[in-house]
Amino acid sequence: MKKLILASASPRRKQLLFDAGYDFTIETSDKEGVFDGITPPEKFAVRCAINKAEDVFSRQSGDDVVVLGADTIVCLDGKILEKPTDEKHAKKMLESLSGKTHQVITGYAIISSNMRETGKVVTKVTFNDLPKSIINDYLKSGLWQGKAGAYGIQDGYDLVKEFDGDYDNVVGLPVKAIDDTIKEFLK
């Protein structure tokens, strides 16, 4: 059996992969992508995932390793909402998402010595019309930190009205979509 490595520091990806029953280790990559403003968001997410997976894979030896890289972005009206830099930035993002539908895109890359699979999963998420009180409570919680679009669907706040697609994708890793591929790589 090959060894699975998750190329991510995300506690949410770690939990999703663990909950799916995988035995894996974590090795992070500092190969974050810089959005050029031209690349379509879906291609950007996949490119970031590839960069992370290739970086971690390049540090391995032997043929018994499979590396999974992923990158999740939030896209509103064709514009990427990255991780907020501070609370003021997070507030602006949450206000811009209020009452609107956006896309959550996770690009993924699975790499081994003789196989490579890349792809993306897109989920449409519609926010409730957010009163200032909910935005302020959420900001005070600090849960917005380190999250694309300044929110987590799993955080227990009444932010999301509905979603169309994979819930786990919005959390950070579309395990159902990549499960069979990972198992094939691990054989």
Active site amino acids: 71
The type of residue at 173 is L
Q: Give the β-pairing of 160-164 and 116-127.
A: antiparallel
Task: Give, in degrees to the nearest 5, the angle at Cα 107 between 105 and 75.
Answer: 25
CA distance between the termini of the chain = 6
Radius of gyration of the chain measured on its C-alpha atoms: 17
DSSP-assigned letters across all residues of 71-102: EEEEEETTEEE---SSHHHHHHHHHHHTT-EE
Do 109 and 118 meet the contact criterion of CB atoms below 8 Å apart? yes
Beta bridge partners of 68: 6, 110
Token pair of 72 as six digits: 């999740």
Nearest to 170 by CA among 109, 118, 101: 101
In sequence order, the β-bridge partners of residue 105 are 73, 122
Structure tokens at 2: 């090959």
